[in-house]
Structure formats: structure tokens, C-alpha cells
Amino acid sequence: MTGLRWGILATGGIAHAFTHDLRTAGCTVTAVGSRRAESAERFAAEFRIPRWHGSYEELAADPEVDIVYVSTPHPMHAENAMMLLEHGKHVLIEKPFTLNAAEAAAIRDLARARGLLAMEAMWTRYLPHMIRIRELVASGALGEIRAVSADHTQLLTSDPEHRLNAMDLGGGALLDLGIYPISFAWDILGAPTSVVASARLGETGADTEVATIFTHASGALSTTLSSSRAAGSNTAHIVGTLARIDIDRVWYNATSFRLTAPDGTVLETYVSDIDGRGMQFEALAAERFIADGLRDSDVLPLDETVAIMGTLDEVRSQIGVTYPGENHHA
């Protein structure tokens, strides 16, 4: 263990899941910060965290903290992360990294200038089954990959005030859910060379369904479907000339997959066996990078995070979704 001291910025549901998994992995959680002192104090008591702060600024200034997990709604990520970097803290920023590529680039540039790690908390990429899948792809076991498909479809709230639907909170299925299958397509096939997107918008103007078709440099195609109003299979597939990989429900969580030959022969079965939700793997990776003197992730480099935000920008341009005040960052 590197002995890095974690701070948790904001105290919502995802912060609870992440902190639980940090504890599972034996990581050191030193402080929590919230906009409300009572919320920070309650969170600190729940997880036996020794220090709590009634503002994000106090957390950023805490000398007992080395790295901070940012779990506010996405429109606040850039401002929160820049403040933390200015205070010399490494940052692990919940996905989506920011609202758009311009904000993501600003974080990247500041982190590099300060010699600090800034990393997108796309925790799925660090899960053991995904590491094995990348090994199989790299080994040529699938032959030439022709297609990738994935969905992220959930029946969630239609409350217009909820962050999922509120435009001023970066609402919409794309940034909240679609980021997973789109990042997955990038992971397997690299940057798309063409992007086609279609969506259905809800009452507030936020996208409730979004579908994408990407062409990639190899000629391979990827398709994604995301919805916040209906629950689908939440599976993913990589289809090659020699074999295919079928990732079971829920594909972006720690789960199982099969490598299957064209004749139906199962060549490999992988079953995940982990404690917690699996968010500890990204945290342990961040600690490892810092201990090794690295200031970027080799699993999801910052340049790729920025470029994926650019892809999401292009999708939003095609489906007609912009956020209030967004032009101030462009």
C-alpha cells in the first residue's frame, strides 16, 4: 500500500459506493468535504473518517489529503478539480470527466503543469474481466474485429428536478449512461472516424434515449444504445472473424463473459469474484501510478478522456443538446 490519503468531495450515492470499496481494499480515507457541515459529519461518522469539512475549499486546503475523489454532478467537475489541482491534490474525477472536451482539456493542462495525476473514474476499464478481455483482443484470439455493440439502459426517474433530467445539472442519458458503452467502443476499436447519432428528448430537453453508430479506423463498426426510461439487457458484444466475446448482464459491472468460436464452441469462460462494487480497482490503479511516478493512466490516458468528451460533444451536436452557460467554456 502506498499510504496515499484519500479525500472524498461530495457525499451522494456514488461517494458512498466508492468509499465502501476503498475500505474494502484497505485504502486510507482521511477526510470528506460537503457544502453542508452536517452532511460531511454524517458521512464521516458512517465510514469512520477522522476529518470532515463543511466546504469543498476546506477539503482542498487540508494538508492531510493527497488525492481526492470528485463525485459532484458533472457540471461542477471542472471547477472542483481545478481548485483541487491548484491546491496540489491528485484527482480521480467521476465519469463523465466534465461536461465537454474544452473543460476536460483545461483539467488535463493544469494537471500536467502541476505535475499531478488527474484521472477519469471510468471504473469499468479497471475491472478484472475487462483486463482479461483486452488481453484476448490483443492476443488475436478474436481475429479481425468487425463489430462492437453495447447498451446501457435503465428505468430511472422522470422527475424534471432530478439531475438526470435537469439541464443545468448536465442531465441526459448520454453523459450519465452512454459514456459507458461509448468509452467501451473506444477501448476496443480506438477513436471513431465517423459518428452518427439519433436521440429522443424528454420534457426538459434532456436526452432520454440515444443511439450511436461509429465507424473506426479499421473499418469496424460499433453501435451503442442508452436509455434512462427503460431497462434493457445491458450486455455487450465484440464480434471477430475467429471468435466473439459476449459480456453478460451487467456488462459494465464485475461480471462474466464467454469467448465463443463461430461454430458455437465455448473457448473460454470468465467469472468475476470480487468484493463490493469493484470501484476499488480504479483507486488502486491511481495509487500505483502515483507510487511509480506516473502522472497519467495507461488504461485510460487523459488525452483519450479528452477525445472521448469530444465524441460526446459531437453526439450532442447531432441530437441538439446543449447545457446552460456551456459556451463560456468553449
Q: Nearest 5 degrees, angle CA 146-CA 147-CA 148?
A: 145
Whether residue 35 lies inside any domain: the answer is yes
Domain-located, residue 288: yes
Q: What is the pLDDT of residue 327?
A: 58
Q: What is the pLDDT of residue 329?
A: 43
Same domain for 157 and 40, yes or no, is no
Asked whether residue 240 is assigned to any structural domain, the reply reads yes
DSSP result, 44-94:
HHHHT-SEEESSHHHHHH-TT-SEEEE-S-GGGHHHHHHHHHHTT-EEEEE
Q: What is the pTM (predicted TM-score) of this model?
A: 0.96
Determine the pLDDT at residue 119. Answer: 98
Task: Round to whole Å and give the CA distance between 145 and 241.
Answer: 7
* Whether the predicted pLDDT of 178 surpasses 90: yes
pLDDT (mean) for 50-73 = 98
* 2 band by pLDDT with thresholds 50, 70 and 90: low
**What is the predicted pLDDT for the residue at 276?**
82
Kindly indicate the confidence band of residue 1, based on its pLDDT and cuts at 50, 70 and 90.
very low
CB 207 within 8 A of CB 200: yes
Residues 84, 161: one domain?
Answer: no
Distance CA 138, CA 113 (A): 33
302 within a domain of the structure (yes/no): no
Does 12 score more than 80 pLDDT?
A: yes
| Per-residue pLDDT tens digits for 78-103 | 999 999 999 999 999 999 999 999 99
Same domain, 324 and 178: yes
Report the pLDDT value the prediction gives residue 35, as an integer from 0 to 100.
97
Q: Indicate if 259 and 148 belong to the same structural domain.
A: yes
- Does residue 95 carry a catalytic annotation? yes
Tell whether 322 is covered by a domain: yes
90 and 189 within one domain: no
Helix (H) or strand (E) holding 234: none
Please give the share of the chain, as a percent, with pLDDT higher than 90.
96
Percentage of residues of the chain with pLDDT beyond 70: 98
CATH at residue 194: 3.30.360.10
- What's the pLDDT score for residue 275? 83
Distance CA 165, CA 178 (A): 14
| Residue with cell string 479506423 | 217
- Specify whether 161 is located in the same domain as 116: no
Q: Are residues 118 and 140 in the same domain?
A: no
Residue 49 domain flag? yes
Average confidence score pLDDT of the chain: 96
Res. 20: pLDDT tops 50: yes
- Tell whether 114 and 14 lie within a shared domain: yes
Same domain assignment for residues 180 and 119: no
Q: Is 301 inside any structural domain?
A: no
Q: Which domain holds residue 88?
A: 5-124+279-294
Q: How many CB atoms lie within 10 A of CB 63?
A: 8
My answer on whether 108 and 17 are in the same domain is yes
Beta bridge partners of 207: 201
CATH of the domain at 81: 3.40.50.720
Does the residue 304 lie in any domain?
Answer: no
Query: What is the model's pLDDT at position 3?
Result: 80
Q: Which of 95, 108, 152, 163 is catalytic?
A: 95
Helix (H, G, I), strand (E, B) or coil at 301: coil
How many domains, the chain? 2
260 in the same domain as 138? yes
| Strand ranges, E, within the chain | 5-9, 28-33, 51-53, 67-70, 90-94, 118-121, 145-153, 192-201, 207-216, 221-227, 236-240, 244-247, 257-260, 266-270
Inter-axis angle of helices 179-189 and 302-319, nearest 10: 120
Size of the chain in residues: 330
Predicted local confidence at residue 153, as pLDDT: 98
What is the torsion angle, in degrees rounded to the nearest 10, for the CA atoms of residue 113, residue 116, residue 117 and residue 118? -50
196 pLDDT above the threshold of 70: yes
CA–centroid distance for 172 within its chain? 15
Same domain? 21 vs 75:
yes
